[in-house]
Structure 1
Amino acid sequence: MKSATCYPCELFHFGPHSSFRNPSDSPSAMGRSFEEDPLTLAMAPPPDETPEQRQAREAAEAEAKKISDEIDEQIRREREGDRKKKKPVKLLLLGQSESGKTATLKNFQLTYARREWSEERGSWRAVIQLNLVRNVNLILDHLNQEMVGTSAHSEGHNSDDSAEEIQVRRKAKALPPLRFKENHRLLKLRLTPLSSVQVDLERKLGDASTELYTTLVDTAAPFDHATNANRRALQEFSINSTNGWKTALDKFRAARQTRPDTGSDSLRKAKEIDDDVTEIIASCKDDIKALWEDPIVAEMLNRRKVRIEDAPGFFLNDTERIASRNYQPTDDDVIRARLRTLGVQEYRFIFDHGRTVGQEWRLYDVGGTRSSRAAWYPYFDDVDAIIFLAPISPFDEKLAEDRRVNRLEDSYLLWRSVCSCKLLSRTQIILFLNKCDLLQAKLQRGVRIRDSVPSFGDRKNDLPTATRYFQQHFKDISKTYSPVARPFYMYLTSVIDTRSTAVTLGAVEESILREHLRYADLIF
């Protein structure tokens, strides 16, 4: 390779009229020296400079140099700080709707960002109240249908009903009619105000969102719209925001901190609504308990195959505590609270506990319905790890958005898609087989897995056998469809159990951190 001095001067792109084209055109040949360079002349001290002027000039130059050096040092420190700054850990939570993604995210905050969790906990009261009210209104919905003779069991079949659902309706229709009494009519009447409470809470939680879905479209006739309770999930209240529950809770937090004689009109009004809602719910406490504990109502729900206690956001067993004027949410209440958010939400936490104190974690909670899954892919390229939540209790349930699809089969297909994605071939994927508590309760009620999952065969219908079977199936899918061999990380979880989940997250945190540091070239 030639040295730079050997290149012809044409490579420097001097123009055809340049004074430096030929050696004979150099400054010395033209009778002009380098000392006459305009910049040099401009910087030279004036020829008639006095000693005082020289001293002032040199002082100004020294001050300018000091300032310039300080700026250079600041830039150097900032660059050094950026170089040493810890890269945030990015964790993506995937799974079908109601798989436990948001509850897992809240467990991370509870375990590792306690200060922020404590600041938000009180604001969850409105969400928990909404969950309780929705539980009650769902029961009243069914009760109204039965009492006015518009039972869903007597309606025509829908094209997407499964054979099992049709058989359930036929069996229910063959049973003797339920004998409702005057107290059921009075319970309906006294609990009517809860329909307006639900609308008020939904409207307030949704004020800061761009999209709002309500289960009660008409407060005057709250039951007219509900012709098929199996569509519950499609009618579920939701908010659409970029940071999930934080948007919904901001207004409640501000309202709770507002004194009656201070704050803006909107905050005072919000606090008044909060107080009114609490008062109405407290006044309905005894009737709510009576409705939930009524044997005829229990038989009605059983015939309709409605198990509110298995659904997210169930609080009827806590009515005595929650339906009170001085109710304050507990950690477990917040974990169990249901506030469905649409789209993809980003949550940023600075961990103040655990092995990564001071480390920023960015957790992404995504919508799990089929129509939401197209939004997942852009988050795959730089994510450190994925926690995939597969609920194994709904082996006998259908997707809310498509009643022809079994929920367990949908989890299998979704898991296969994630494992086979080439963009995630080097990404750590951790599987949570979730809702083990609900699976155990379902098996104890006598529900047989083989009736819905024929490949389960004659295996023992208990929790250890079931979890081993499901675990092996997910492991086989990972092995078969992963583009490259990857380790199989799996945990049996019940994410509403904060204590056991904290132990699981400790192991997950260490595993994710190790991979994160390895890719950041900090360990080898």
Structure 2
Amino acid sequence: MGLVRSTMFPCRRTPTATTANMGRSFEEDPLTLAIAPPPDETPEQRQAREFAEAEAKKVSDEIDEQIRKEKEGDRRKKKPVKLLLLGQSESGKTATLKNFQLTYARREWSEERASWRAVIQLNLVRNVNLILDHLTHEMSGSQSPDGNNSDESAEDIVPVRRTAKTLPPLRFKEKHRLLKLRLGPLGGVQTDLEQKLGAASTEVKNTPASSAAPFDLVQNRRALQEFSINSHNGWKTALDKFRAARPIRAENGNGSLQKLKQDEDDISEVLASCKDDIKAIWDDPMVREMLTRRKIRIEDAPGFFLNETERIASRNYQPTDDDVIRARLRTLGVQEYRFIFDHGQTVGQEWRLYDVGGTRSSRPTWYPYFDDVDAIIFLAPISPFDEKLAEDRRVNRLEDSYLLWRSVVSCKLLARTQIILFLNKCDLLQAKLQRGVRIRDSVPSFGDRKNDLPTATRYFQQHFKEISKQHSPAPRPFYMYLTSVIDTRSTAVTLGAVEESILREHLRHADLIF
């Protein structure tokens, strides 16, 4: 105990020349005087004081040791893997993110799956209402749902080849009028669901003209940072409302969440009562002919569920894994998704995936996320070679992907970032080619090549590869996969290869392997 005392309370001594020259003696130092023991301290008081000092030092040492261990733990803690998903709107970014979660974070996936019920119901209702809109205008003699003659004015549609204009007029019957009447309540259901899900449930309309990569045009990075705030109206926020409502019971007194749960039940009841009519209008040959003449292919658009009406339009419907992967809910801004892998080679590793809005007006928000990202998965859908952007009907979707890909690979900030290319929607490309759609009619450079899937994919692969080779600031490995991200089994295999390559680069950058 004497050691503690001699350490904390030095003996009084005669001032040295140094302290005297400073104008104050050592014993007059304020700190020394403050911590010095009382001059009239008794032996019992001194013993109690020294015991308290020893206990305080012990506690202080324990705190210091805990801080040291925490700092050491933080130093050794695995740095999260950061993955950015890029591509134009409806390229499959969110579906890819959902595949990651399904494959590597099953617990969180299971907890969230039921929340997609309202989104899938909305997708089904919108499928039906789109048919009703066209049916109404066809029966009244209008050219399109918005009253103009544009073949591509309706949202959520995929155009097909033009048909001859000399076809005889369609002759609708009384049953079509009755179907319209009985399915009328679905208009209100769509409005209710869109209001509950928020802005993410609405689809993009025409927007002011902008470049394929507006982040190339802005030099001031600070200005771009102002646009990088994560959206609070995206699909994650929309789902949170329904995740909160699932466990609510009537007796808990939470009025707003209980009402949301009741509204869900009411919507399911309306859908169930309309199930037979939904199936009837989709299976009707004259309705199918009308859609063909109007160059509409709902079945090729995201969020198509009419073939699953029997399951979905039921009172006790619960989403399947495939339903959730196919569900369409637009991403707004930049959405960060964090989860710990519970499968694969990186069990226990935190991954942070960033899902972005893909419309041209959303792309300025991307740039701040280019920094400190381990890898980018760029999704380029190759089936819409004959389609236009929803936000700008003058721009071919494939050409937009080419321009966007060139801007990403040429970005100097991404010169050392691993970029993986998914040529997506190969299933839709194959279906389109089997229907006789010719690539060369929309892509003249395709020439006289054979109009089949292997030839087409080789052509598109080579084109994207050449862009990367010509515009990358420095040579880099080129990873490319042909994908159909709504196919969960094949995508799981692809993600296994992607996980391994991303992990290797991540560890190399972290100086853990050489």
* Aligned partner of 2:460 among 446, 470, 473: 470
Matches of 1:153 and 1:213, distance apart in 2: 20
The equivalent of 1:80 in structure 2 is 72
Aligned pairs (5 A) from 1:446-465: 446-465=436-455
**Residue 325 of structure 1: SS of its match in structure 2?**
coil
* Aligned partner of 1:279 among 269, 284, 287: 269
Offset of residue 243 of structure 1 = 7.6
**Residue 394 of structure 1: SS of its match in structure 2?**
coil
Offset of residue 29 of structure 1 = 5.7
Matches of 1:467 and 1:30, distance apart in 2: 86
Matches of 1:202 and 1:291, distance apart in 2: 23
Matches of 1:201 and 1:31, distance apart in 2: 81
Q: Choose 253-262 or 332-341, whichever is displaced more.
A: 253-262
Matched, 1:330 2:323: no
Matches of 1:213 and 1:167, distance apart in 2: 25
Evaluate the alpha carbon distance shift between residue 168 and residue 513 of structure 1 in structure 2; reply closer, same or farther with a 3 A threshold.
closer
Matches of 2:146 and 2:101, distance apart in 1: 47
Q: How many residues align?
A: 473
Evaluate the alpha carbon distance shift between residue 485 and residue 168 of structure 1 in structure 2; reply closer, same or farther with a 3 A threshold.
closer
TM-score by length of 2: 0.87
Matched, 1:410 2:400: yes
Matches of 1:251 and 1:480, distance apart in 2: 47
* Aligned partner of 1:371 among 361, 365, 369: 361
Matches of 1:119 and 1:247, distance apart in 2: 15
Offset of residue 155 of structure 1 = 6.8
Aligned pairs (5 A) from 1:421-440: 421-440=411-430
State the Cα deviation string for residues 86-129 of structure 1 (Å, max 9, x = none): 11111000000000000000000101110000001111111100
Matches of 2:335 and 2:482, distance apart in 1: 25
Evaluate the alpha carbon distance shift between residue 153 and residue 263 of structure 1 in structure 2; reply closer, same or farther with a 3 A threshold.
closer
Matches of 1:512 and 1:388, distance apart in 2: 14
State the Cα deviation string for residues 452-478 of structure 1 (Å, max 9, x = none): 111111111111111011000000000
Offset of residue 45 of structure 1 = 2.7
> Do the aligned residues in 2 keep the contact of 1:154 with 1:173 (CA within 8 Å)?
no
Matches of 2:89 and 2:77, distance apart in 1: 36
State the Cα deviation string for residues 34-89 of structure 1 (Å, max 9, x = none): 45544334333333322101101101110110111111112111101110111111
Matches of 2:46 and 2:266, distance apart in 1: 79
- Give 5+ residue unaligned stretches, structure 2: 1-15, 208-229
The equivalent of 2:82 in structure 1 is 90
Matched, 1:293 2:283: yes
Aligned pairs (5 A) from 1:299-310: 299-310=289-300
Offset of residue 212 of structure 1 = 6.6
Matched, 1:201 2:193: yes
The equivalent of 2:36 in structure 1 is 44
TM-score by length of 1: 0.86
> Do the aligned residues in 2 keep the contact of 1:147 with 1:180 (CA within 8 Å)?
yes
The equivalent of 1:316 in structure 2 is 306
> Do the aligned residues in 2 keep the contact of 1:187 with 1:287 (CA within 8 Å)?
yes
User: What letter matches 1:73 in structure 2?
Assistant: E
The equivalent of 2:374 in structure 1 is 384
State the Cα deviation string for residues 276-303 of structure 1 (Å, max 9, x = none): 1000000111100010010000000001
User: What letter matches 2:114 in structure 1?
Assistant: G
State the Cα deviation string for residues 335-378 of structure 1 (Å, max 9, x = none): 00001121111111111111111111111111111111111111
The equivalent of 1:186 in structure 2 is 178
Matched, 1:355 2:348: no
State the Cα deviation string for residues 358-400 of structure 1 (Å, max 9, x = none): 1111111111111111111110011110000000000111111
The equivalent of 1:21 in structure 2 is none
Offset of residue 255 of structure 1 = 2.2
Matches of 2:405 and 2:289, distance apart in 1: 37
Offset of residue 182 of structure 1 = 0.5
The equivalent of 1:58 in structure 2 is 50
Evaluate the alpha carbon distance shift between residue 104 and residue 168 of structure 1 in structure 2; reply closer, same or farther with a 3 A threshold.
closer
The root-mean-square deviation of aligned C-alpha atoms, in Å, is: 2.5
> Do the aligned residues in 1 keep the contact of 2:338 with 2:353 (CA within 8 Å)?
yes
State the Cα deviation string for residues 377-424 of structure 1 (Å, max 9, x = none): 110011110000000000111111111111111100000000100000
> Do the aligned residues in 2 keep the contact of 1:157 with 1:166 (CA within 8 Å)?
no
* Aligned partner of 1:121 among 82, 95, 113: 113
- Give 5+ residue unaligned stretches, structure 1: 1-23, 216-230, 235-239
**Residue 92 of structure 1: SS of its match in structure 2?**
strand
Evaluate the alpha carbon distance shift between residue 154 and residue 351 of structure 1 in structure 2; reply closer, same or farther with a 3 A threshold.
closer
User: What letter matches 1:374 in structure 2?
Assistant: P
State the Cα deviation string for residues 435-463 of structure 1 (Å, max 9, x = none): 00000000111111111111111111111
> Do the aligned residues in 1 keep the contact of 2:423 with 2:480 (CA within 8 Å)?
yes
The equivalent of 2:60 in structure 1 is 68
Matches of 1:154 and 1:49, distance apart in 2: 95
Evaluate the alpha carbon distance shift between residue 313 and residue 66 of structure 1 in structure 2; reply closer, same or farther with a 3 A threshold.
same
The alignment-based identity, stated in percent, is 82
